[in-house]
Amino acid sequence: MSSSVPVLDPGTSPVRAPHVGLVILALAVGGFAIGTTEFASMSMLPLFAQGLGIDAPTAGHAISAYALGVVVGAPVITVLGARWPRRRLLLLLMAMFTVFNGLTGLSPSYHWMLLFRFLSGLPHGAYFGVGALVASSLVPANRRTRAVGQMFLGLTCATVVGVPLASWLGQVVGWRWSFALVALLGVATMSAVFAFAPNTPADAEASPLRELGALKRSQVWITLGIGAIGFGGMFAVYTYLADILLHVTHMPLASVPWVMGVFGIGMTLGNVIVPLFADRALMRTAGGLLLWSLVVLAIFPFTAGNVWALSGTVFLIGIGGALGTVLQTRLMDVAGDAQGLAASLNHSAFNAANALGPFLGGLAIAHGYGWTSPGFVGSGLALGGLLLWLVSMAVDRRRDIDAVAECC
């Protein structure tokens, strides 16, 4: 996909580009569009389940189809587009995103919707992978996580503004119009990227083979595993949050978007605050976020009966979403010169989590453990991610010991 860029040393000057803030803003607009379609689909699950004549667990498969599209699309597009200039590739990815989200709104049946959701997910990971590399190339190395976090603010702001707006639109005029809104956001992204993203040439040394070199690195796989398992807990709860609010908390449907907005506020604050710590202690911050998620997800089922307690817990769960930003930087650190594939695979991992979490949460509900059971499922997934984090730390420690031994 994007051409690879080596990790900057602390003393290296960043790439010079006009209007760095506008470049990151343009990338964030795309994040806003992607976040709106990804999370609004979850909040509108009861609406299109009713409209297509299916039950909620079955409708949850549309969420998993999108996630599967991200998992497949990120590595394939990255490798095939390794020699493309980044701005051109970003524009192509957003064009795909716009068309397939528009077609989702026109789906005549559940099975057509599954297909279009899968196709809509294909450009997701590749877009964020390229965007993260562009954003991090514009700043010094000790500000990379903050730059990536600022790009991801588009996604998190979508959970505050875009998701409630799309959910409200879906309730008032029909869920199909929410996907029309997403398509319009895709057009806006293309305009912003064309206007502000630097038109730098592709890396002459980039190649599909070099990008595939990321797959030879054990720490790349371990980091992807942390995201695929550890982040699944958040999706296990968020996917069924609308139904939990309706059936357990007994809130009216019109109030559901407001609680979704609380989740988005938590994610937004997490992506503002957490990168400040991550730029100082990256892996310790990742471990702290996994432990945080383990605890708050376990608490969630006990708060579901009260709207205020539940809203507070949902806010805390949202803060844990900053794990995506932290692991994005971690992958850039461990990928060597295969930065493009590693950066995009981060979103394959998180959308594997987006498939795994709803699937396991739906199984727990379908087997009679209750609407709140995804909270316990999510806590177990966070524990799995934490165990992989310990493995990653142990591998780093062993390599440090070996390096010292060779030196002396």
**214-269 per-position pLDDT tens digit:** 677 888 899 999 999 998 989 889 888 888 888 898 888 777 778 878 888 898 89
pLDDT average, residue stretch 286-297:
95
Rounded to whole angstroms, what are the CA distances from 236 to 7, 166, 292, 408? 34, 21, 16, 49
Q: Is 20-399 a domain of CATH 3.30.2320.30?
A: no
pLDDT, position 6: 39
Reading the block at residue 188, the tokens are 């806006």
Structure-token match 């809203």, residue found: 311
pLDDT, position 32: 93
CA distance 394 to 272: 29
Residue 19 has pLDDT above 90, yes or no: no
Kindly write down the DSSP assignment for every residue of 28-44, as one continuous string. Answer: HHHHHHHHHHHHHHHHT
CA distance 142 to 254: 44
pLDDT, position 343: 76
Rounded to whole angstroms, what are the CA distances from 138 to 20, 141, 268? 7, 9, 22
pLDDT, position 138: 80
Length of the chain: 408
pLDDT average, residue stretch 132-160:
82
Of 336, 197, 315, nearest in space to 262 by CA: 315
pLDDT, position 203: 66
* The Cα angle at residue 282 between residues 72 and 161, in degrees rounded to 5: 60
Of 250, 251, 243, 236, nearest in space to 375 by CA: 236
pLDDT band at residue 390 under the 50/70/90 scheme: very high
DSSP 12: S
**Digit-coded pLDDT (tens) for 4-14:** 333 444 334 44
- Residue 55, judged by CB atoms within 10 A of its CB (0-12, 13-18, 19+), counts as exposed
Residue 94 has pLDDT above 90, yes or no: yes
**Digit-coded pLDDT (tens) for 296-330:** 999 999 998 888 999 999 999 999 989 988 998 89
CA distance 229 to 407: 36
Structure-token match 């608490």, residue found: 299
- Identify whether the C-beta of residue 267 lies closer than 8 Å to the C-beta of residue 235: no
- Identify whether the C-beta of residue 61 lies closer than 8 Å to the C-beta of residue 191: no
CA distance 351 to 148: 18
CA distance 323 to 318: 10
pLDDT average, residue stretch 107-131:
89
Q: Give percent above pLDDT 70 in the chain.
A: 89
CA distance 325 to 274: 9
**Digit-coded pLDDT (tens) for 42-55:** 777 777 777 777 77
Residue 340 has pLDDT above 70, yes or no: yes
pLDDT band at residue 136 under the 50/70/90 scheme: confident
Residue 154 has pLDDT above 90, yes or no: no
pLDDT, position 2: 38
**Digit-coded pLDDT (tens) for 174-228:** 888 888 999 999 999 999 999 888 877 766 666 666 667 667 788 889 999 999 9
Residue 392 has pLDDT above 90, yes or no: yes
CA distance 222 to 327: 11
Instruction: Report the phi/psi class of residue 217: left, alpha or beta, with left for phi > 0 and alpha for psi in -120 to 50.
Output: beta
**What is the phi/psi pair of residue 14, to 5°?**
-70, 160
Q: Give percent above pLDDT 90 in the chain.
A: 29
CA distance 169 to 13: 46
- Residue 115, judged by CB atoms within 10 A of its CB (0-12, 13-18, 19+), counts as middle
Count of C-beta atoms within a 10 Å radius of residue 286: 27
Residue 15 has pLDDT above 50, yes or no: no
pLDDT, position 393: 93
Residue 3 has pLDDT above 70, yes or no: no
pLDDT, position 186: 93
* The Cα angle at residue 239 between residues 381 and 259, in degrees rounded to 5: 110
Residue 407 has pLDDT above 70, yes or no: no
